[in-house]
A and B are shown apart, each in its own frame.
Chain A
Amino acid sequence: MGVFHRGVRNAFRNTVRSASVIFILALSICMALIMFMSLKTVQTKIDSVKSSIGNIVTVSPAGIRGFEGGGQLLTSENVKTVSEINNVTKVVSVLNDRVNNGTDTNLQSAIEAGNFGNRQGNRQFRTNDSSNTAINNSITQRTFTPPIQIVATSDLSNTASLNVAQFEITSGTLFDVNTSDNVALVGKDLATKNSLNVDSTFQAYSKDIKVVGIYDTGNAFTNSSLVVPLVTLQNLSDQSGLISEMVVQTSSIDSVGSVANDIKTALGNSADVVSQQDNSNSAIAPLQNIKTISLYGLIGSLVAGSIIILLTIVMIVRERRQEIGVLKAIGASNALVITQFSVESLVLTLTSSVLGILLGIVLSNPILNVLVNNSTSSTTPSGPGGGGGREFARLGAGIINGSTNSIRNLHNVIGIDIILYGLLAAIAIALIGSAIPSYMIAKVRPAEVLRSE
């Protein structure tokens, strides 16, 4: 029988004690494992939330949101200034306009006015014709057709500039973004409503506009819009060189904050700068909390595990002091006795970690859920609220809802690597737990064996 065999056998010498130690140690290893998995899962999620939020800064003219407010539009001069800022990789220019059926265009909106539309429409008539109380009073239920939105962007591949999540051409082709031809891409619903196909024409701004493609965004509002080349819209709407929004891409997610600040400095009062940094911070905050909890939990359970095995082995060494002296007296070296006790401690921790890993597999998801629910309810995300502009509502709704959903969707995945880490941790715990006992073993004087008689 060798030293390893003896170590293994000694591990189960006192069955009740070994069972309790293994059980407690398994719990702490299980805890450590869960915390480690949470840490990994949450980190992955933070990265993906960060990258889904993207490295984008939006610049709008000061005082203008969509078609609300008032002030001066941005200029191509502004675009040039912004594109020269450090870490700015791309600036997409956007111009929005809208045309009304009858006055500006022969197109009919695919969107039904409904209660909301009629309310908005009547309010508009009232404000426009406020001097004419007679009309105001007599026409209380005037039928209202929603205007048709027109978007022009300098980069059709930039879905953020189109204010959509997806942009798919269902027939026809894209136009060249630099053209000044009177061409348009038509939303799928708008095309159906007005029986438009590729190559048909419609009227807007008293011009014939040719349809080059039909698109689908998966969204009713934008599927009832038009997309035209930037220069075309600037010419048609008499806004040459002007844009209503810049979508600025930065070189990395981490430079978003500094780029936003630089833009604010460069454009001063002429622009409102919305970076998604603040939103991303509040979206990530609950994840960061889980990460912190997990990290402390991981350290705590590793420390607890080490202390448990340390105390156990210290207890065992003290108990078997006489036996250690005898082994030395009959010719065992310190190294051999220490090896025997380390094997014993390793057997205890490895058995515990197998049990701990099994427990971890069973318990990790429920525990992660508890962590997530506690930390999301403790940090109420600032919702879109009222009054916020189009931009804010978009960001608010998209990011905050998106990220809380993604937090809820966190799911621990046990991989071979995690099990390996678990076993490594167990071995580390066993070795740490054997260090002090080893010193105690080395200190036992074989002559003590005679003294105790």
Chain B
Amino acid sequence: MLSVKNLCKEFKSGEHKVLAVNNLNMEVPDGIFASIIGRSGSGKSTLLSMLGALDKPTSGEIIVDNTDIAKMGDRKLIKYRRDKIGFVFQSYNLVPNLTAIENVMLPMEFAGMNKNAQESRASKLLKSVGLTEDKYLRRPKRLSGGEQQRVAIARALANKPKLILADEPTGNLDSSTGSIIIKLLKNLAKSEGTTIIAVTHDIGIANQAEKTFTLKDGKLTN
């Protein structure tokens, strides 16, 4: 269970203050596929970045595995990001001069896994996201958007995370590829017991989720 209590995030630029997340409370049961919808600027990315420890909340608690990550020190946060979280981005964000398989191996290298183990797990993951083997050694530039997002999902799964956070994962894809990617995410979540929280604009995708949160001005509306 992931639970968020009284979460606030305030951005200051000089005199100007923006309350991007405003006293937000939410609970996400383990192993489900949840979606977050809301208009642009409603605070979805900000919420996601705090769940993934990319940013620190101004106030409030984020309880994962009975620990409040809002109170963690930097070293623990690096480990948390590495071991507990998998990120999937709208623009894939693969490292451009690494091959598909090297991109997937990267988080495992950070975790200190030996090279052979990295390689065999990476190819297993690439296979499970449906990338054909001839593309393992290609650089991102030579992969289609859908293929890059498959690689990104494989990379997110590399260290068997507890939680996958996806920020508009289909935003750059056509709708048929998008629905394939969502199906992939859903299936993996089921088979690996991973919780998935996906931010989306697409009502069709949101409707497939077991739980949907709607954000407006940094607050949940439902």
Partners in one complex: yes
Report Cα–Cα, A13/B82, bound state, in Å: 26
Q: Which of A10, A322, A332 contacts B93 (CB 8 A)?
A: A322
Q: Say how far A241's CB is from chain B's closest CB, in angstroms.
A: 91
Residues of A within 8 A of B87 (CB): 329-330, 449
A370 at the binding interface (Cβ < 8 Å): no
Contact B81 A330 (CB under 8 A): yes
When C-beta atoms are compared, the residue in chain B nearest to A448 turns out to be: B54
Residues of B within 8 A of A443 (CB): none
Could you say which of B95, B96, B107, B115 has the most chain A C-beta atoms within 10 Å of its C-beta? B95
B26 at the binding interface (Cβ < 8 Å): no
When C-beta atoms are compared, the residue in chain B nearest to A10 turns out to be: B97
Report Cα–Cα, A6/B105, bound state, in Å: 13
A451 at the binding interface (Cβ < 8 Å): yes
Q: Which of A327, A332, A447 contacts B55 (CB 8 A)?
A: A447
Q: Which of A10, A333, A450 contacts B45 (CB 8 A)?
A: A450
B28 at the binding interface (Cβ < 8 Å): no
Interface bracket on B: 20 to 34
Q: Mark A2-14, 1 if CB is under 8 A from B, else 0.
A: 1100100110010
Q: Say how far B66's CB is from chain A's closest CB, in angstroms.
A: 21
Report Cα–Cα, A323/B75, bound state, in Å: 20
Q: Mark B45-75, 1 if CB is under 8 A from A, else 0.
A: 1001100101100000000000000000001
When C-beta atoms are compared, the residue in chain B nearest to A446 turns out to be: B54
Contact B78 A449 (CB under 8 A): no
Q: Which of A6, A328, A446, A450 contacts B167 (CB 8 A)?
A: A450
B147 at the binding interface (Cβ < 8 Å): no
Q: Say how far A329's CB is from chain B's closest CB, in angstroms.
A: 5
Total count of chain A residues near the partner, CB < 8 A: 26
Contact B97 A330 (CB under 8 A): no
A68 at the binding interface (Cβ < 8 Å): no
Contact A1 B159 (CB under 8 A): no
Knowing A330-B82, A447-B55, say if A453 contacts B110 (CB, 8 Å): no
Residues of A within 8 A of B52 (CB): 329
Contact B89 A331 (CB under 8 A): no
Contact B54 A447 (CB under 8 A): yes
Report Cα–Cα, A6/B102, bound state, in Å: 10
A299 at the binding interface (Cβ < 8 Å): no
Interface residues of A in 1-37 (CB under 8 A from B): 1-3, 6, 9-10, 13
Contact B54 A326 (CB under 8 A): no
A139 at the binding interface (Cβ < 8 Å): no
Residues of B within 8 A of A394 (CB): none
List residues of chain B with CB under 8 Å of any chain A CB. Answer: 45, 48-49, 52, 54-55, 75, 78-79, 81-83, 87, 89-91, 93, 95-98, 102, 105-107, 109-111, 115, 155, 159, 167-168, 171
17 contacts between A and B (CB under 8 A): A13-B97, A323-B96, A327-B106, A329-B52, A329-B54, A329-B81, A330-B107, A332-B78, A332-B82, A336-B110, A446-B54, A449-B54, A450-B49, A450-B89, A450-B167, A453-B89, A453-B171
List residues of chain A with CB under 8 Å of any chain B CB. Answer: 1-3, 6, 9-10, 13, 322-323, 326-333, 336, 445-447, 449-453
The 3 closest A-B pairs by CB, nearest first: A331-B82, A447-B55, A447-B54
